[in-house]
Structure 1
Amino acid sequence: MSNFSTISQASRFTDVSNLSDNAWRQHGSLWSNLRQVCELLSIPAPVTVDDEDTLFQHVRFKAGQRIHRIGQAFDTLYIVNSGFLKTVHIDEYGNEQVLSFPMKGDLLGIDGIHKQHYASEAIALSDCDIILLPYKAFTSLGRTHVELEQAMFSVMSREIVREQMMISMLSALSAEAKVARFLTNLGERFNQMGYSGRSFNLRMTRQEIGSYLGLTLETVSRTLSALNELGMISVEQREINLLDPVALKTLRRLPPAKARIKVAEKVSALVNKNLLPQWNGELAAAMN
């Protein structure tokens, strides 16, 4: 029988007293077994572990609440079961830099492993359900189930690779292309979660998008308006519809304002004639 064999025993490894701001509102009412956790992380579950022998606690956060703070003692990894968050770094002057926008299936807190203190803050952008993964207890379980340990290393590596790809993108693309690529990447993430990849609500503000992409609020807003004008997306407050994901993904830069008017007129004419799908290549070329 493992250390997680009962809910009362499992609670010893899911202490909520260290949660920043006493952020939790409800805890202990929902538990996930190891198989469910592995499924959420998209990794294989050990066949030698009884589903009900290993239970992990859920904690619910309201929008705006912190899951962990910079400098807080590290003892837990967090898995997003539902909801949307942002992770940020805050410098000595109080300036916030958005690092990522975690959502369902993402693992948080790995930056705390190195120095045993979290190096970033995780903040809920919507109401969230988070699964607690007590680090010491989970690594102990991994030592007896090597395949689980290897799978967790794979998850951590996946998070690092995602960040590296983002850094590479930021260094290589124009400001307009960064916004376009951000939208298509977000759509792909929604699609992977089983939601529409072409129509979704932005949980983050334009200011937060700019911080993430290294752009000003004005640049983000101007680019969204231009993409809307060109018929590549439609924007209604926070609701985004990706009308032409292919053109968005291949966009390098936007044409000057006068040229955009001509392109927009051509897009409008093609839409009216139901010819836009055949014109994707030409639209993409006009943007390059």
Structure 2
Amino acid sequence: MLNTPMSEIRSTSATARNVSAAVARQGKLWSNLSEVCDLLRIPASLGAFQDDFQFQHMQFKSGQRVHTIGQPFDMLYIVYSGFLKTVIIDESGNEQVLGFPMKGDLFGIDGIHGKQYSTEAVALSNCEIILVPFKAFLAIGRANAELEAAIYGVMSRELVREQSLIGTLGSLSAEARVARFLVSLSERFSDMGYSGKQFNLRMTRQEIGNYLGLTLETVSRTFSAFNAVGLISVDQRAIVLHDIQALRTLRRLPPSHARAKAEAAKALKLAAANKEAQAAAGAEVQAAV
């Protein structure tokens, strides 16, 4: 077993000091290293003999910030439950969504280079977060190089996800961006052991649009179009994916669907106009009589 002082592992961070409304969970207060490895999808055997490392759980309510831009870096974070968004904010106060961490995701790595966080992490629902003091991470690395490499692999996984977004924004239509976003969520829910076909969106249409580089109206219109052609069923934030493969390969909705929808709308409008005309003619006949 390691002789790393527990005071080093349980060091008080800026998060624990400053987030007064974040409350320690009444049930599970700590996770050992094996449990953390399992959550990060790292072979738990790598941490099986180092369970004197204990990591604190903290709860955050929807809308609370886990860390803020410019806050001194001393902590990595793992999502135990709930949903968050990570954002950057420009000089005018405009927000750009960078990602949506959920169970098993590691965040806060943007603080390593400059010793302060360059993003904000905001809870989208009530969340439970595992705090990993960076000193603890360094101690783990000194004790187990293989485990250290595995954790760096998790960090790389997060970066690859962000790079994939950049490629998506640059090469796909609005419809394809929304489709890939839904497929990505489906895969992430499946990885967590939940249904990949039916789930609730924790982010708003506005936040999805911000993330994908689209307007709120475009996202809403695309969801409605997917619903109309049977790719999904949508009821506010409740989503059911009926054809994941079609969403995965979709580049834009087939023109025939768009034409059929436009023609149906035109027919309804014409029928309504004819009905109004007939009613008006009938009123004229009655007035004449």
TM-score (ref. length: structure 1): 0.84
Query: RMSD value over aligned CA atoms?
Result: 2.4
Q: Which amino acid aligns with 1:261?
A: K
Judged with a 3 Å threshold, the aligned counterparts in structure 2 of structure 1 residues 233 and 72 are, in CA distance, closer, same or farther, namely same
Structure 2 gap ranges (5+): 265-289
Structure 2 match to 1:67: 66
Alignment-derived partner of residue 128 in structure 2: 129
Deviation at 1:22, TM superposition (A): 2.7
Which residue type is aligned with residue 105 of structure 1? G
Residues 102-141 of structure 1: CA distance to partner in whole angstroms, max 9, x if unpaired?
0011001000000000010000101111000000222122
1:12 corresponds to: 10
Aligned: 1:166 with 2:165: yes
Consecutive aligned runs of 4 or more in structure 1 exceeding 3 Å deviation: 1-6, 9-12, 14-21, 45-52, 255-258
* In structure 2, C-alpha distance between the alignment counterparts of 1:14 and 1:36, rounded to whole Å: 21
Q: For the residues of structure 2 that align with 1:263 and 1:125, how far apart are their CA atoms?
A: 40
Which shows bigger deviation, 161-170 or 253-262? 253-262
Deviation at 1:13, TM superposition (A): 2.3
Between the aligned partners of 2:133 and 2:2, the Cα distance in structure 1 is 14
Is the 1:14–1:57 contact (alpha carbons within 8 Å) kept by the matching residues of 2? no
Equivalent position amino acid for 2:225 in 1: A
Counterpart of 1:277 in structure 2 is: none
- What amino acid is the match of 2:20? N
**1:186-265 to 2 correspondences below 5 Å:** 186-256=185-255, 258-261=258-261
Identity of aligned residues (%): 61
Matched pairs, number: 263
Residue matched to 1:90? 89
Q: CA shift at 1:14, angstroms? A: 4.6
Q: C-alpha offsets along residues 188-235 of structure 1, whole Å, 9 cap, x if unaligned?
A: 111111111010000000000000000000000000000101111011
Asked if 1 retains the 8 angstrom alpha-carbon contact of 2:9 and 2:135, the reply is no
CA gap 1:263/1:51 in 2 versus in 1, 3 angstroms: farther
* Residue 170 of structure 1: how far off its partner (Å): 1.2
Once the two structures are superposed, what CA deviation does each residue of 1:148-203 show, in whole Å capped at 9, x if it has no partner? Answer: 11111111111111111111111110001100111111011111111110100000
Q: Which amino acid aligns with 1:153?
A: Y
Which runs of no fewer than 5 residues in structure 1 stay unpaired? Answer: 265-288
Larger Rg: 2
